[in-house]
Amino acid sequence: MGFYTYFAARFSIVISLAFIGLLWFGKKTTFKEFLLSTAVLGIGFGLVAAPYIAHGSIADPQAMSYKMWESAFFNSFNGLQFYSKEELFSVTPPFTINDNELFYNPKIYLTLILRGFLRTMIVFQRQGLISEHYIAFPLAGTSGVIFYLLGFALTLKTFKQPRSLLIILWFFANVFGLSALNTVPPRHTHDHDHSCARTLTGVGLNAAASANRNYAVPKEKMG
């Protein structure tokens, strides 16, 4: 189970804990419920993900961390696509972690994160940013993108509702954690926002259908 629970799924523990924590800070749940929910999440994470992580850390610890550092936005491979070595290493010399050359430059960090975020957000509604894997349309779909944008706006508007808060956390945690903070974003193969985008599309489609039903002319007034 742990082997087939990929990083995007294991990342849900962060989203879930953030959701429970915000509900508690917003006084929408009691401290006792907060502790119980956290304990249940911890047990679930321990049963599914912990054995895989523990085995990998013992059997091949280098492989466990190599991919993570390779995909970090502050990997020199990513930075050198946009900056020269002089610019990249102007603050400190490069440093190496698990055979990955990394750099430290806060100003460049901010630029790369902002670029990654914008490209990840745009790819849901505009084609052309992704050319591989036979993707020729926006990730939210051609006509579906209309309902995606509507659902996205409605979800942000009702962010105080727990259901909207959970979708927002799910969406932006994946946008940043699995794409914007990675090398060469948008990382559509890492970013499991597609399912969240489909949820937002469903919210928009449901809102449009409800509005159409509310403004429809009653049958008794027709003809």
Q: What is the pLDDT along the chain (223 residues), one digit of tens a residue?
A: 666 666 666 778 888 889 998 888 888 888 899 899 999 988 888 888 888 778 878 887 777 778 788 888 999 999 999 999 999 999 999 999 888 999 999 999 999 999 999 988 888 887 766 666 556 667 777 788 889 899 999 999 999 899 999 999 988 988 888 888 988 888 766 655 567 788 888 899 998 888 877 765 555 554 4
Distance CA 139, CA 125 (A): 7
Q: What pLDDT was estimated at residue 14?
A: 84
Determine, yes or no, domain membership for 65: no
Residues 6+ apart with CB under 8 A from 103: 74, 75, 76, 79, 88, 89, 92, 94, 95
Tokens encoding 185: 């974003």
Q: What pLDDT was estimated at residue 131?
A: 62
3-state secondary structure of 187: coil
CA-to-CA dists, residue 77 to 6, 23, 29, 71, 183, angstroms: 24, 40, 45, 9, 8
First to last CA, the chain: 61
Determine, yes or no, domain membership for 49: yes
Q: Are residues 115 and 94 in the same domain?
A: no
Q: Are 213 and 187 in contact (CB under 8 A)?
A: no
Q: Are residues 54 and 136 in the same domain?
A: no
Q: Are residues 100 and 115 in the same domain?
A: no
Distance CA 137, CA 46 (A): 39
Q: What pLDDT was estimated at residue 130?
A: 66
Q: Are residues 204 and 111 in the same domain?
A: yes
Q: Are 174 and 139 in contact (CB under 8 A)?
A: no
CA-to-CA dists, residue 168 to 17, 116, 152, 164, angstroms: 14, 18, 9, 6
Q: Are residues 126 and 168 in the same domain?
A: yes
Q: Are residues 196 and 120 in the same domain?
A: yes
Q: Are residues 121 and 189 in the same domain?
A: yes
Distance CA 91, CA 159 (A): 40
User: Could you list the residue range(s) of the whole structural domain that residue 164 is in?
Assistant: 105-210
Q: What pLDDT was estimated at residue 157?
A: 93
- Domain total in the chain: 3
Q: What pLDDT was estimated at residue 6?
A: 65
Q: What pLDDT was estimated at residue 52?
A: 78
Q: Are residues 158 and 206 in the same domain?
A: yes
What's this model's pTM, rounded to 2 decimal places?
A: 0.77
